[in-house]
Structure 1
């Protein structure tokens, strides 16, 4: 039956038979109903759709659409046929998990436009179809790119075998590939693909050609279909932008894939390697298939150094580019212009200034801006997909003491990583690391931090002393088993998983010891899980409060723990986004072992929904708040008073323009005495000399409404992007504490590196903000990126 259908399709070349094929396959499989729509996704490799496009595919499937995913490339560069089959097996397992049904498929060879394509249809849900063209792949680090040769050089390619016995190779040229892809795209209600508007090796050459071919063919369909393009490799260093529930679900799917293609999933559950970073992100731009555009459109981008928090800036014709504070000007916009090279050549792009239209050349070890000449080898750069930028003389571009530098490309740190956007993971102000509190009730503060587990979506909670350098102590472990063959999510309603939880620390039962509260989505509302401190560890979680569906984590900008009610027990403030504007402030008060239903304290319609709320706690009184907001590009402070029954929103105050909202980290504490609160503002040091000063600290007295920020001190040898500040006070005195990333050597597939570390700067009481020399509390085990988590919805 299958062979007769394939012959009929081949002989008639009628594209619509590809749809009815589902209905006439032999075996107990029902016909797919595609009345809701058909999504066709075209990517290069068998994990591109899972890493870069999903959860968009998943959303269409949940909405009742048929989904067809086309993988142009079989295996990888130079892979044998066995690896092609391994990747297809991994893809089948991942899509079965996505659909929530057993991993049972019907495979066949389907003829389209006279060419056989390997088809895999999910038996329990035939709306899911995978089409494998099995073309040979190109190299991510340069070398032969068969798909590029086919498209640009009119080469002829042979696929991997279409049959289990190693026979049935298919011959493709540009016209044949276009015809086959057109027959597939003809059924699409919507098309997803990768990013055509970039150059190798910012993204994989196979990604780029797959997207360009898809766009070109889509423009020949003769109809208007939405088409969405997805950025791939660079997004690993950009801010995570997917809701936590989708991230958690996507990690399961991707980890199921890599349990076969790689045989382990540890990197998927973390953010220490690119596969894990990509899971939490989806960056795309939309168009329509009937809009005629060239195969490539150069898009201006900044070159942003995350370690220095600065951008490469053109200094004009004949001058070397510099590294300067980012200002968004044309002088800091660059284009990677493709050069006339054989596909796969690594020296494939010119670095062109948008402001001057001149190219940057490397001559005698120095950079210079000059008239572009595409045949001049001194102007041929290698843009690199994992953040490195290779100069024409094969040096790596980086930063040292606030200036551009070039060196050999071994043993590099994050100072040699570049992002194509100023907004990057390194300056994502939604992120949090350590919490601080007296865990034993002995008058001594500890740092409490949460670290991802790599064998599943769980986490470990550690406490580290702020008194001396000592190994941290495991206070709680939330182990959540991952089964790659499961069809149900790993994280159930009562699971505590890293990506879908938020954390606050407070003395919720009033015994003088700080407890941990873990907040998750549950039963359509929010669950607050109390982990009491017994002085040596956190006890087993117990449900402290379950809210109604009126309160959802995906609507809550921030949770804040403090003594808001004056009962010596911490409650949890819920800052929930309003449907019109601003946020509502609700308080879940503590009854000791349980929490009370949230009560509304304020409708803060004038607050921006990106507000960061900091508690101002004074001894023996209720906590109040200050909201730190980004108001039209200015940093603003809004005091919020608490009288026990309601909160009153005060008058907003704008800070001076030099406090750029995207580059200010804030801490608060009783700096001068136990009854006062001081805001502490950390900003990157703006000086462009070779001096090693890196972080400026300003203070602002919150007890005086008329006060202005005062420059207090500068920390040397520290990168602003690597630190998370807090101000603590205990029996040892007051101190500024920095939870930070050590500047360690990076691996090829690591965007950030280094271990977490703690530094304590004791406060020397007196005038101003005087800090004593740093007390290095040592590096903590594990990776810094594994202890960073999202604390707020927006920044």
Structure 2
């Protein structure tokens, strides 16, 4: 009882000191007011908070909170003190940009629970404080992990110097680190950290240990506060889940950081390397500090191969794992169970089937399921490492000819990349690539696609022939300079940036040439910028329509361009989320008196029962008003709904559910005049997932919307293609009808590259009923495939 009372008095005293901490900061920092709340973020490295936690930090700062970010690790594995200082300088610049103030700081060493900690307080915004413990770091892919030695084996660590002259190093053991962190966490009304419930090297060992230390200490605070854990590395292959405006701001902040730590930011403005992939994502799970849990909680995962669109499957006890169609069954649930190893050992986990509780071993070049033995080297795996899975004998797990395979870990392609969940970019059906239209007015269709620029947030627009092999032409460039020292947003005002706009193609002025429309947030509403086709390029943007604040891009599921009024000019349909349920369908049409000006949107339908995640496809008949087909997935079933255009209003029909073989996550759809110019056919592409063992096979089915049947019929099979890498369009022009695929060509991957390969075009001439002819390869296109992929809808 007496010792408990002493601990209570001690903890209360530490908490009071921490609460007073901000009130006695030197200089202008005394002005900090933390009445709105105090966020304490604890991460390992000096970019973890920016890449994996933000924009959650920015949101609290904008709301008037005090934010304290704690970096446990100085520099990186094996770095010298100069690199520690470089990373801190980069972090200061990023946080100054986050706060929108000059990069001027008050630096000092402060004593917290008896330990010196390097503190940096932003002069113009003293609510921003960075605390640097400067512990030595561990390696990302195996090797010594000092924080693991401290926490798990009770070692003592010596920090980097606290003073610029190389003096004042501090010793930490487990108790000392816990006491220091407890004092820092005491005033927190909200705590952010990384993911404690995983194993190296799915995430960096320093990430995991930092999160475990933080959770452990937070549970000793004697209060209930929310604590949020952030997943790190695996999110790079997951669907982007941040709003466009937040992504754009985050890219600025992170690019400012990497302008110092790395001296270039090209990877930040793209999605071809991990840093860039992480920016448009934030995945987290919540708990409270008064809920006691172990340092590690095991969560089942899936292992999903995007190239094959299949999951790792356990057929049964004693049988080797296979690749199979993803069902979500227990046979496709796995655990990485940590093994007793020295911190930093790469062979640190057992691959365990949730259904059978057996471990997967590698023996004589084959995989086999057997009783787990944590001391058996044949069962010691290196788990998911930037998408690669290393077997006990250091082979890489992958897919070949539709089957599970192993090989040496050099010159790998995306067939050897794995994700820890089936829900990935590979089946994110919100994504779009090329648009198709007659941009030259020559009765010939072209593919129009957008490429990110790597020196800033702008983009290039290319047009490529769909009739012959020819180099694509640059039709428009939106150059948006990036200044790492700026405090204002790169994409402020009327600047058009890749991540914050959406694109439409249509003949908006009625001159027979398809124009480009760019949709962006502006003045609290939505701006529609028209780039008219001049036959060989798109002209500079003109403001076609500025809406009221009632219309916002972040409320619009989808924009659709088509001739909804039968006036010979395209209008824009706005499918906006309703406050209650479903969507409102609004149409903004060109003004009769001015072809290059749009009229205010008019409400054409209140579709309360239409699912919000629909994909709206245009249904056209020559000389008539365009109507719509809405495709959606719910409760594991794919369905479509006809939406009739009656002139100034639309009527939503009944929802028709397709056979269960069409799994919503694995169906790509397009519309086409398959049976003649005025026919309308739904074309559905699915990965071929039976046990035939064929590599890269896509099944194509058609659904004739003019017929009495509502069941799709098989139409064609495409070979040597990965379903996740193709985006279909059906075209009909003076060269005939064809199924077009804008696709990714496979390529050897670098260590930290999520995807590889250039975009390419393939044309499949179509006879009646989608009888496809031999593929015509129209060649590779400039740039990277990943840089042509953009989000076209809000939800899927």
TM bin, normalised by shorter chain, reads over 0.9
Q: Which position in structure 2 is the counterpart of 1:279?
A: 279
SS at match of 1:530: strand
Q: Which position in structure 2 is the counterpart of 1:47?
A: 47
- What CA distance in whole angstroms lies between the structure 2 residues aligned with 1:711 and 1:579? 40
Q: Which position in structure 1 is the counterpart of 2:503?
A: 503
Bigger mean CA offset, 667-676 vs 204-213: 667-676
Bigger mean CA offset, 409-418 vs 28-37: 28-37
- What CA distance in whole angstroms lies between the structure 2 residues aligned with 1:24 and 1:664? 60
Q: Which position in structure 2 is the counterpart of 1:548?
A: 548
- What CA distance in whole angstroms lies between the structure 2 residues aligned with 1:249 and 1:14? 37
Task: Kindly provide the CA deviation profile for residues 496-545 of structure 1, in whole angstroms up to 9, marking residues without a partner as x.
Answer: 00000000000000000000000000000000000000101000000000
Q: 2:627 aligns with which of 601, 605, 624?
A: 624
SS at match of 2:275: helix
8 Å CA contact 2:29–2:121 kept in 1: the answer is no
Q: TM-score, normalised by structure 1?
A: 0.98
* 1:733 matches 2:736: yes
Q: Which position in structure 1 is the counterpart of 2:381?
A: 381
CA root-mean-square deviation: 1.1
TM-superposed CA distance for 1:14, in Å, is 4.5
TM-superposed CA distance for 1:26, in Å, is 4.1
8 Å CA contact 1:616–1:668 kept in 2: the answer is yes
8 Å CA contact 1:638–1:651 kept in 2: the answer is yes
- What CA distance in whole angstroms lies between the structure 2 residues aligned with 1:83 and 1:221? 34
* 1:771 matches 2:772: yes
TM-superposed CA distance for 1:707, in Å, is 3.2
Task: Kindly provide the CA deviation profile for residues 61-93 of structure 1, in whole angstroms up to 9, marking residues without a partner as x.
Answer: 111100000000000000000000000000000
* 1:673 matches 2:676: yes
Task: Kindly provide the CA deviation profile for residues 248-290 of structure 1, in whole angstroms up to 9, marking residues without a partner as x.
Answer: 0000000000000000000000000000000000000000011
Q: 1:602 aligns with which of 601, 605, 630?
A: 605
8 Å CA contact 1:13–1:113 kept in 2: the answer is no
Q: 1:716 aligns with which of 716, 719, 723?
A: 719
8 Å CA contact 2:299–2:335 kept in 1: the answer is yes
- What CA distance in whole angstroms lies between the structure 2 residues aligned with 1:704 and 1:474? 42
Task: Kindly provide the CA deviation profile for residues 648-676 of structure 1, in whole angstroms up to 9, marking residues without a partner as x.
Answer: 10111000000001100001011111111
TM-superposed CA distance for 1:20, in Å, is 3.7
Bigger mean CA offset, 347-356 vs 744-753: 744-753
Bigger mean CA offset, 682-691 vs 431-440: 682-691
- What CA distance in whole angstroms lies between the structure 1 residues aligned with 2:232 and 2:319? 33
Q: Which position in structure 2 is the counterpart of 1:408?
A: 408
- What CA distance in whole angstroms lies between the structure 2 residues aligned with 1:337 and 1:32? 45
8 Å CA contact 1:13–1:112 kept in 2: the answer is no
Q: Which position in structure 2 is the counterpart of 1:756?
A: 759
- What CA distance in whole angstroms lies between the structure 2 residues aligned with 1:318 and 1:548? 64
* 1:633 matches 2:650: no
8 Å CA contact 1:493–1:521 kept in 2: the answer is no
* TM-aligned CA distance change 1:454 to 1:722, over 3 Å: same
> Pairwise mapping of residues 523-602 of structure 1 onto structure 2 (< 5 A)?
523-591=523-591, 592-602=595-605
Bigger mean CA offset, 682-691 vs 180-189: 682-691
8 Å CA contact 1:634–1:660 kept in 2: the answer is yes
8 Å CA contact 1:204–1:385 kept in 2: the answer is no
Task: Kindly provide the CA deviation profile for residues 335-394 of structure 1, in whole angstroms up to 9, marking residues without a partner as x.
Answer: 000000000000000000000000000000000000000000000000133000000000
* 1:231 matches 2:234: no
> Pairwise mapping of residues 148-547 of structure 1 onto structure 2 (< 5 A)?
148-547=148-547
Gaps of 5+ in 2: 1-9
- What CA distance in whole angstroms lies between the structure 1 residues aligned with 2:598 and 2:310? 46
8 Å CA contact 1:411–1:746 kept in 2: the answer is yes
- What CA distance in whole angstroms lies between the structure 1 residues aligned with 2:191 and 2:237? 26
Q: Which position in structure 2 is the counterpart of 1:7?
A: none
SS at match of 1:262: coil
Gaps of 5+ in 1: 1-9
- What CA distance in whole angstroms lies between the structure 2 residues aligned with 1:689 and 1:736? 25
TM-superposed CA distance for 1:27, in Å, is 3.1
Task: Kindly provide the CA deviation profile for residues 427-478 of structure 1, in whole angstroms up to 9, marking residues without a partner as x.
Answer: 1000000000001111001000000001111000000111111111000000
* 1:783 matches 2:784: yes
> Pairwise mapping of residues 50-199 of structure 1 onto structure 2 (< 5 A)?
50-199=50-199
Q: Which position in structure 2 is the counterpart of 1:614?
A: 617
- What CA distance in whole angstroms lies between the structure 2 residues aligned with 1:17 and 1:195? 29
TM-superposed CA distance for 1:764, in Å, is 2.0
- What CA distance in whole angstroms lies between the structure 2 residues aligned with 1:316 and 1:521? 53
8 Å CA contact 2:43–2:193 kept in 1: the answer is yes
- What CA distance in whole angstroms lies between the structure 1 residues aligned with 2:656 and 2:14? 68
- What CA distance in whole angstroms lies between the structure 1 residues aligned with 2:384 and 2:694? 29
* 1:643 matches 2:642: no
Q: Which position in structure 1 is the counterpart of 2:794?
A: 793
Aligned residues: 783
Task: Kindly provide the CA deviation profile for residues 148-171 of structure 1, in whole angstroms up to 9, marking residues without a partner as x.
Answer: 000001110000000010000000
* TM-aligned CA distance change 1:143 to 1:115, over 3 Å: same
- What CA distance in whole angstroms lies between the structure 2 residues aligned with 1:603 and 1:97? 42
